[in-house]
Structure 1
Amino acid sequence: MHEYVLQTNLLSKKFKGQTALDKVNLSIRKGSIYGFIGQNGAGKSTLIRIVTGLAFPTEGTIELFGASEDQALIQARKRIGSMIESPALFPHMTASENLEANRILRGIPGKDSVPRMLEQVGLQNAGRKKAKNFSLGMKQRLGLAIALLGDPEFLILDEPTNGLDPMGVVEMRQLLKRLNQELGITILISSHILSELHLMASHYGIIHRGQLLEQLTAKQLDEQCQHYVLIEVDNPDKAAAVIQNELGTTDFEVMQDGAIKLYGRLERPGKVSSALFSAGLEIEKFMPMGEDLESYFTKRIGGHAHV
């Protein structure tokens, strides 16, 4: 069994002289949920389109389930399900009819897969309602059901929570985690809702201006996200002096609003609060904090993020 479902080697794509992908070496392990992060125009959709066969690289190669030759890639792509941007639906058909039409078009045997997929995504009670009358959340679920036709081993989703309300986002997250954990489906998710990715991804890839900056596991991300104690007192200047002179550390910063971020001494926060209290300071807030995925991503690309 091949360890990776997808690997790219020096993958590049140019459009009219503009570089969309620049020598990207990406690896997605079997059984993972891979969060693909980048600003609009960073190259996420271009890479996804190449992997699914909707576009071709200018240079470099891709390997799916260990296959890299053209004919072998065609066969390997049959093991992929994808939902890219908004799902393409037949508006005057019901959910069942949409699935049946896609099943026939793709040559997938077995009519029994239609009710099974509807149940998988929670649309088994959609009845005779036509797709044009579906809510956005129902359309996303139907698009996912279509992607799951043929029981894919690798699921590629471009903005699967786009436009969903908060409850819809939670339901989609739970559904994807269940598909991964119970059915063993490897999932690549491109999303701008980084807080959601942080709740389900096991691995991450950060792409910026066509270049893959970094790949890391969820554990590595947690280790690299800087943790600190947020301190608010009645006299920030005096507190800074206490931290530096009494505790012997300069690993902190005083923010413009007077709040202090203390990065050192995290293993003994009680000693910090005791020193501040003994100095006669009134402690208004003393709270352990940590960076989230969005903060890490913004720092990694060196600026403000518009994902």
Structure 2
Amino acid sequence: MTYIIRTHNLTKAYKGKEVVSEVNMQVKKGEIYGFLGPNGSGKTTLMKMITNLVTPTGGDIEVLDEKLTPSSFEVLKRIGSIIEYPVFYEKLSARKNLELHCEYMGYYNKGAISEALKLVNLVNIENKTVKEFSLGMKQRLAIARAVITKPDLLILDEPLNGLDPLGIRELRDLFLNLSRQYGMTLLISSHILGEIEQIADTIGVIREGKLLEESSMDLIRSKHVEHVELIVKEQAKAAFVLESELNIANFRIKEHDGLIHIYDSNISQNDIIHAMVINQIEVGSITKKSKSLEDYFLQLIEGGNKNA
């Protein structure tokens, strides 16, 4: 197994208060790693340490098979990133901004600029200065700048900010393409959990500076099976019917509005409704559900208990 990023007990403290605390993260080569956590949880600080913008208080970072030190300049050429709000020369065009970036990076592929702009769907903007761009256009330009040199590792801090649904879908497809076709490794933080769920191979969940969970999406999906959500008027009576007449033991009564979750997949919804009707129990609704990444994430963030 080849890891592009590995941290060991990575810690950062400001004025004696730890904002990142002994984080052990492993990002595999070629994968999309979704980094989740509420505001102030330490995501951006950790990304800044990986890109050498912030010096750790303790622990080690290994990036692209090299232990990161304050003098690790060459390895940074193999990393593209957007961290916090992207900054440009506002009075210059998108192309000129990218030309300056390539010159700074020592990258002189003349066709790379047009290719990067096309990748992020920034076309027919040659005469516009960046100050005329919308927030979403600036976000696209930042991604174009991050990928223009074809880095081995792409670190994106909330890259979907400011985009409309169509823009989000386009960039989701782009991220998948960069990973699957170009073999690029992506570390992406986002609060749009549904999007991360669709593209991530692995997720890491951080809260108050501590990494609560690091798991493959396949494993998460296998652990959180589908269930039937039943809403009835007489919850206790319905529970009795499920157990005594349908022989369902694997269900859970929720403490609001007559909600019952049924985890027995061998019983059809029609059978459940039929049993309720016969026993004169009013059914508000019955729906097949599956636990989403959002459910899983909120469970970890609010309770820190991944087995609940």
Fold shared, TM-score > 0.5 on shorter chain:
yes
Distance 2:254 2:26 in 1: 40
Note if contact 2:139-2:162 (Cα within 8 Å) is conserved in structure 1: no
Give 1:90's aligned amino acid.
Y
Give 1:241's aligned amino acid.
F
- Please state how far the C-alpha of 1:155 moved relative to its aligned partner: 0.5
Residues 166 and 120 of structure 1: is their aligned pair in 2 closer, same or farther, counting only changes over 3 Å? closer
Distance 1:102 1:278 in 2: 72
- Please state how far the C-alpha of 1:71 moved relative to its aligned partner: 8.0
- Please state how far the C-alpha of 1:72 moved relative to its aligned partner: 8.2
Specify the SS of the correspondent of 1:261.
strand
Note if contact 1:255-1:261 (Cα within 8 Å) is conserved in structure 2: no
In the alignment, which residue of structure 1 is the partner of 2:154?
A: 155
Specify the SS of the correspondent of 1:8.
strand
In the alignment, which residue of structure 2 is the partner of 1:209?
A: 208
- Aligned pairs (5 A) from 1:112-151: 112-151=111-150
Note if contact 2:20-2:45 (Cα within 8 Å) is conserved in structure 1: yes
1:252-276 superposed Cα distances (whole Å, 9 cap, x missing partner): 21442123222x3123335434433
Distance 1:280 1:181 in 2: 54
- Please state how far the C-alpha of 1:176 moved relative to its aligned partner: 1.5
Note if contact 1:63-1:73 (Cα within 8 Å) is conserved in structure 2: no
Specify the SS of the correspondent of 2:74.
helix
In the alignment, which residue of structure 1 is the partner of 2:22?
A: 23
Note if contact 1:5-1:154 (Cα within 8 Å) is conserved in structure 2: yes
What is the aligned length? 302
Q: Does 1:111 align with 2:113?
A: no
In the alignment, which residue of structure 1 is the partner of 2:294?
A: 294
- Please state how far the C-alpha of 1:250 moved relative to its aligned partner: 5.9
- Please state how far the C-alpha of 1:231 moved relative to its aligned partner: 1.3
- Please state how far the C-alpha of 1:33 moved relative to its aligned partner: 0.6
- Please state how far the C-alpha of 1:37 moved relative to its aligned partner: 0.7
In the alignment, which residue of structure 2 is the partner of 1:78?
A: 77
Specify the SS of the correspondent of 1:183.
coil
Note if contact 2:248-2:264 (Cα within 8 Å) is conserved in structure 1: no
In the alignment, which residue of structure 2 is the partner of 1:276?
A: 276
Distance 1:79 1:258 in 2: 55
Kindly report the root-mean-square deviation, in angstroms, between the aligned alpha carbons of the 2 structures: 2.1
TM-score normalized with structure 1 length = 0.91
In the alignment, which residue of structure 2 is the partner of 1:261?
A: 261
1:27-80 superposed Cα distances (whole Å, 9 cap, x missing partner): 000111100011111111111001111011111111111111638843222111
Give 1:173's aligned amino acid.
R
- Please state how far the C-alpha of 1:208 moved relative to its aligned partner: 1.0
Q: Does 1:186 align with 2:185?
A: yes
TM-score normalized with structure 2 length = 0.91
Specify the SS of the correspondent of 2:237.
helix
Distance 1:27 1:69 in 2: 15
Residues 80 and 267 of structure 1: is their aligned pair in 2 closer, same or farther, counting only changes over 3 Å? farther
1:151-186 superposed Cα distances (whole Å, 9 cap, x missing partner): 101100000011222222222212212222221211
Give 2:272's aligned amino acid.
V
Distance 2:85 2:204 in 1: 23
Gaps of 5+ in 2: none
